[in-house]
Amino acid sequence: MPGNKHMNKKNIRMRRMNKKAWLRIVEAFLAILIVVSAVLIVMSKNQTRMDLSGDVNYKQRQILDIIAKNDSLRESILQNETTDLNNQILLMVPRNWNFTTKVCGIKEICTTDIPLDREVYVSQIIITSSINKYDPKKIKFFTWRK
């Protein structure tokens, strides 16, 4: 019987070691799960930003296409008059956007005072002529979130 007592102590030690081993496996699994979750959260936030830029670009293109097809807006652009243009754009942009436009010659670099602490999206279109006038102009359309 003394041998059985020695075997029982050995079995008890083995069980304790097995429990510790399983506990370490569970801890490692949870650590991996936490790290993977954090990486997925960061990636999903970056993906949202990328999707936003595609949506903004699409909306800017829509607005510029509408402007390009409007004869009275084309005429005012060729005369460097942007009041009607900006009023029309104001009706079409989402309420959470700020915007500015710049009309300049085709070979000019169009710049404007825009906030440096925001993500600014820019699209442009060239208006070459109207019914009465040929004087190509470039419109740059800058947008950013409020």
What residue spans define the domains of the chain?
2-145
Structure confidence at residue 6 as a pLDDT band (50, 70, 90): low
Cα separation, 109 vs 91, in Å, equals 27
| Percentage of the chain exceeding pLDDT 70 | 84
Residue-wise pLDDT for 87-105, tens only, equals 999 999 999 889 999 999 9
Helix (H, G, I), strand (E, B) or coil at 96: coil
Tell me the two tokens of residue 24.
């370490």
- When pLDDT is averaged across residues 97-125 and rounded to a whole number, the result is 87
